[in-house]
Structures are given as structure tokens and as C-alpha cells.
Amino acid sequence: MSVAGVPGSKVVLPGGGEDIGMGLFGVSFKLLSRDTDSAISIVEHPFDVGAIVPVHQHTREDEYSIVLEGEMGFRSGDREAVLGPGGYITKPRREMHTMWNAGAVPARIIEIISPGGFEQYFHDLADLLTDDRPEPDAIAELAARYGLTFGDPAWPDGVVRRYGLVDPWHVFDSTRGGSRTTAPDRAGATWSCGISSDIRSAGVEACRGRSRLLVLPD
């Protein structure tokens, strides 16, 4: 029996839900805010080998990550951990954090976002990225709308070096000025990626490795 004002039961079959591919990072929508009366939203994030999301914080949401496949590295505040399938970590609001694929095979996590609503950010970001060169002001405005802010501490450089990741901030695409840098793929290949300084200031990293686009987070 349904109860007035309470969302009905929602069933998502294994492999179900809308998927958005963003290069080395992606989003699979499982439970939306409207399914839970805004209590939570749940997505899954696949991480290709070498993927890391730039350091950021949410000012309105807490996040809870559960590793499904592969090995995932996390840093939230001063805590750093590498977790395999079945591992959990909390990422409180207003705490700078990042996540990366710490292994040699693709990885996947469940992300529980509380309260719900932030999942719409990924749709809005994907809309902006239909153009290969999104306007920095539009990216900045979108991040501000969702209470998302970015940081640039020194410690991610060490993470990138230790795990052979695609550096999300400090390489430049030669097609847009600056120098081109390649990052090692532990599966044996290499790729090049870059970021325009004007887009960096707006909070988006563009990676053209494997002719694909890697964008900001989670």
C-alpha cells in the first residue's frame, strides 16, 4: 500500500540505470533523489586505469563510497586508504578529497550521496561537454550552483607519481598552448592529456588520452 508523500518502491536490476561516459571516469545512475524523497542518491563510478578526480569538496553533501571492483585509492582530509572490493570510506562535506584507480585493471565504486540531488550535476556537466571546448565561466557557474569547490594542495602530485596516474592539473595540451606530457598506462600503453589554465580555474580537466575526454568528478 502506498503512503501519501512517500516515494514508491524502486527496483534497479543489475546493470540497470542510465550511463554517462566521461572518458576515464563515468557515472551510472541507480537511485535518484526523487526515488528517495531527497534523502539520498546512489550512483556507480567506473574508473579506468590511470584515472583520478581532481581534489574537491562538497559543501552540501556527505558521501559514502563502497568498492565493487578493482582497487581504489581515496584521500579525504588527512586520511588515505587503498581499498579492494567490499571496502567502505566516508567523505564528509567540506572535506577536500579525491579518488583514483590504484590498480592495473578497471575499478568501480558505489557512491551514496546524502542528501540527494547532486546527481543532476553530472547530467548538467555532460550537457556542457557536448562541445570539446566548454566555456570556463559556464563550468564555474555550474560548480557554484551545486556547492562544489576545488582545491589544489601539493599532495596529489605524489599520488599521481606513485600510482602512474593521468595528472588532473599539471599538464598542458600542446594543441592549446603549453607542453605535452604523457602519463604511463600500467597496462602497457601511454596517452597524452592536458588542461587549459583558463578551464582549470573553472574546475574542469580535459584529457584527450585515447581520444576521450576526462572531466571532473564525482
Inform me whether the pLDDT recorded for 112 exceeds 80: yes
Inform me whether the pLDDT recorded for 212 exceeds 50: no
Could you tell me what percent of the chain has a pLDDT over 90? 54
Give the C-alpha separation, 118 to 10, whole Å: 19
Query: Do strands 25-31 and 19-22 pair parallel, antiparallel, or not at all (unpaired)?
Result: antiparallel
Q: What is the pLDDT of residue 140?
A: 81
pLDDT tens, residue by residue, 26-48: 999 999 999 999 999 999 999 99
DSSP 20-71: EEETTEEEEEEE-GGGTTTS-EEEEEEE-TT-BPPPEEESS-EEEEEEEES-
Give the C-alpha separation, 73 to 81, whole Å: 6
Contact predicate 90/132, CB 8 Å: no
Give the C-alpha separation, 16 to 28, whole Å: 8
Residues 102-118 have a mean pLDDT of 97
Grid cell for residue 122: 553530472
Q: Minimal CA–CA distance to 101: which of 77, 79, 68?
A: 68
Helix (H, G, I), strand (E, B) or coil at 182: strand
Residues 102-114 have a mean pLDDT of 97
Give the C-alpha separation, 94 to 91, whole Å: 9
Q: What is the pLDDT of residue 3?
A: 61
pLDDT tens, residue by residue, 150-203: 888 888 889 999 999 986 643 323 223 333 233 333 333 333 333 334 444 444
Selected residue with higher pLDDT from 22 and 131: 22
Inform me whether the pLDDT recorded for 9 exceeds 60: yes
Inform me whether the pLDDT recorded for 146 exceeds 60: yes
CATH number of 19-211: 2.60.120.10
Q: What is the pLDDT of residue 4?
A: 60
**pLDDT band at residue 134, thresholds of 50, 70 and 90?**
low
Name the residue with cell 576545488: 150
Q: What is the pLDDT of residue 126?
A: 82
pLDDT tens, residue by residue, 51-63: 998 899 999 999 9
pLDDT tens, residue by residue, 65-87: 999 999 999 999 999 999 999 99
Give the C-alpha separation, 182 to 97, whole Å: 24
CA separation (Å) from 32 to 67, 108, 205?
A: 20, 19, 26
